[in-house]
Structure 1
Amino acid sequence: MKRFRFTLQPVAILRTHQDARAQEAFAFAVQALTKAEQEVAAAQARVRQFAADLVAGRAHNFSASEQIRALEAYRQECDAEVAAKQARAKAQQTMEQRRAEYIEAHRRLEVVKRLEQKARAQHRYETMREEQAEFDDYANRRAGRAAAAANP
């Protein structure tokens, strides 16, 4: 019985490595998106807090210079929130791109795996056919000897 040899084994190894790298890149992109979403949530919380502080500051003693500083800080926080949302959108886009790359790499790996399964099935079929032919030859020789011994 001859050993199974898959001629596309180097391709399978390469595709496995590409799949692993694409999966890792996708995981990093998901982590980056999660971090960006947390930063957006934190920025939104800071903006809400600044807005509440501005309203509360006007209710007590109104100092124009303090209000100007508070408004400037509020604008900076609003700008930080916008920047965080833009970073989240970019992270989302990157994650979608990495997901598509991972799906494509995985699909290509599955194609090679299916080819290997078909080649293994073909090899098993051919091996079984050869073994069956050997058994048939052996049985025919034995039957021939038995017939020759019975007819002297």
Structure 2
Amino acid sequence: MKKFRFPLQPVGVLRSHQELRAREVFAAAVHVYVQAEERLAALRQRVAELAEVLFHGRTDRFLAADAAALFRVYRGECNTVIEVEREVIEARAAMQARRQEYIEANRRLKTVQKLEEKARERHRLELLRAEQGELDELAGFRAFRSPVLS
């Protein structure tokens, strides 16, 4: 019997490469999302420190110019937090889209792999049937050649 050959092997290789690429793109999207989350956490920490100084750290003397400058910095940091929150939301949406692309690429790859497994199993069964036919034929020749014992 001839060697196993899967006719969709080029498709399997192509889908394997697509799945690998989708996994890499998804990993990059996760990395961007995590970086955005870390940046947001750092900014929130900074805003909390500024708020502590601005609202709870008042001393005996109140200097309006210093308080106004600190409030401008605080307001600027709050605006930056809002922008970074938007970036986090966008990064999360991009990550979800890349996840769906990866899942789809993986599903297509598994489809080809299942087809290959089924084709291998059919080929193996054909080989076993051919071997069994040869053994049956050989047993028939031996039975024909051996004298009858009666």
Q: Give the structure with the higher percent helix.
A: 1
Q: Give the superposition deviation at 1:141.
A: 1.2
Aligned partners of 1:60, 1:134: CA distance in 2, in Å? 105
Amino acid at match of 2:47: V
**Counterpart Cα distance in 1 of 2:60 and 2:11:** 73
Q: Which deviates the most, 24-33 or 110-119?
A: 24-33
- Percent identity over the alignment is 44
4+ long deviations beyond 4 Å: none
Cα distance, 1:59 vs structure 2: 3.3
Q: Cα distance, 1:33 vs. partner?
A: 1.0
Structure 1 residue 55: Cα displacement: 1.9
CA distance in 2, matches of 1:83, 1:19: 33
How many residue pairs match? The answer is: 149
TM-score (norm 1): 0.93
**Aligned-pair CA distance for 1:56:** 4.3
Task: Work out the CA distance in 1 between the residues paired with 2:100 and 2:60.
Answer: 55
Deviations 1:61-117 (A, max 9, x none): 212221111111111100111111111101100110011011000000000000000
Report the equivalent of 2:85: 85
**Inter-partner Cα distance in structure 1 for 2:105 and 2:59:** 60
Which residue pairs with 1:12 in the alignment? 12
What TM-score do you get using the length of structure 2 for normalisation?
0.94
Distance of 1:122 and 1:60 partners within structure 2? 89
Superposition CA RMSD, Å: 1.5
Tell me, what secondary structure is at the counterpart of 2:146?
helix
